[in-house]
Amino acid sequence: MKDKHRVIATNKKARHDYFIEETYEAGIVLAGTEVKSIRQGKVNFKDSYAQIENGEAFVIGMHISPYEQGNIYNRDPVRKRKLLLNKREIRKLIGLTTQKGYSLIPLNLYLKNGLVKMELAVAIGKKKYDKRQDIAKKDAERRIQRAKDY
């Protein structure tokens, strides 16, 4: 049986601002109206990050727009949401994030067999000169590709 993935949102800025070390797949605890809003693609995690508190992982700053027909059942759009990870994975993430410079950044939000999942990355922030090197490398690759096409 093949897994069905439908990517709903990607954090494009994450790969630009961070070096990705490891990735994890996590479920998210959501309300019914939040799931309906996510299925419509009304989610934004541009400035969001994950944090571990009291042995539990949470995503902070992810904005899920209120569902239009949800009226009283809608929740706060930027509330803190619990991530579902194994205890072993959480312990490993605690060890990694206590080191200087490591952060937990959400990369993708997608549906997998009807469930909302998040791809979470352990990342190190890039310095300004690292970003310049990446831009120069991409520019050189584009020039090479154009030269091949002609």
Per residue in 27-65, pLDDT tens? 999 888 888 888 888 898 888 999 999 989 999 999 888
Tens of pLDDT, residues 96-124:
888 877 889 999 999 998 899 999 999 88
What residues contact 66, with CB distance under 8 A and at least 6 apart? 33, 37, 74, 75, 77
Domains of the chain and CATH, by start: 5-149 (2.40.280.10)
Would the pTM count as exceeding 0.85?
A: no
Q: Are the C-beta atoms of residues 80 and 58 closer than 8 Å to each other?
A: yes
Q: Are the C-beta atoms of residues 59 and 80 closer than 8 Å to each other?
A: yes
